[in-house]
Amino acid sequence: MASTSDIRNGLCMKFNNELWSVVEFLHVKPGKGAAFVRTKLKNLRTGKVLAHTFPAGTKIDDQRVERRKYQFLYKQDTIFHFMNSETFEQTFFDKDLLDAPDLLKEGIEVEILFHVETETPLICDMSAYVVLEVTYTEPGEKGNTATNAFKDATVETGAVVKVPLFINIGDKIKVDTRTGQYSERVK
């Protein structure tokens, strides 16, 4: 058992019989009254974010979690299959539980957060950026670069990303997995 003084970003706790992760916290000590901790908690099963205030000194039930490296294998309907590179153990996630399922390319490395006591997978974290090849885009127009003009480009995973006009078919681009936006062209 931990107390509110142990709260930090990323801490996993059991709250209302569910597993939650601390996204944001703030220790507040007002001039009058008792101190408290304002938090934003993310449900590790549903992804729902909840704002909650804990009085100072409240006991919290912290949980042990472990990050393991997995490799994306394939997609079957809305289920995404992953394999541990060391033990060859496989696990899977539904499309709704992944942050950027459209940007997952076969063979890409991800980190999966496991609850140690029950050995259940909780969250699948991708790297911040992924490099993908453009498979289709309209040709850019010469001289139309005075403004920040963008066009649609389909990448090898099937996702559509807005890219600058100078990007052509066959170019490799770096895409931000958190926002799904174009970042830069890769040589």
pLDDT, residue 144, reads 61
Domain 2-62 part of CATH 2.30.30.30: yes
Output the DSSP codes for 122-162.
EEEE--SEEEEEEEEEPPPPTT--SS--EEEEEETTS-EEE
Instruction: List the structure tokens of 36.
Output: 């408290």
Predicted confidence at residue 123, as pLDDT, reads 84
Give CA–CA dist 53/46, Å, rounded: 21
CB atoms near residue 145 (< 10 Å): 12
Fold of 65-125: OB fold (Dihydrolipoamide Acetyltransferase, E2P) (2.40.50)
Report pLDDT for 1: 82
Digits of tens for pLDDT over the chain (187 positions)? 888 888 999 899 999 999 999 999 999 999 889 999 999 999 888 878 999 999 999 999 999 989 899 999 999 988 999 999 889 999 988 887 788 889 999 999 999 888 888 888 888 888 899 999 999 998 876 666 666 788 899 999 999 999 988 888 999 999 999 888 999 999 8
Residues of the chain with CATH 2.30.30.30: 2-62
- CATH 2.40.50.140 range(s) for the chain read 65-125, 129-186
pLDDT at 142: 66
Structure confidence at residue 55 (pLDDT) = 93
CATH superfamily of 129-186: Nucleic acid-binding proteins (2.40.50.140)
Backbone angles phi, psi at 74, to 5 degrees: -160, 170
- pLDDT at position 136: 94
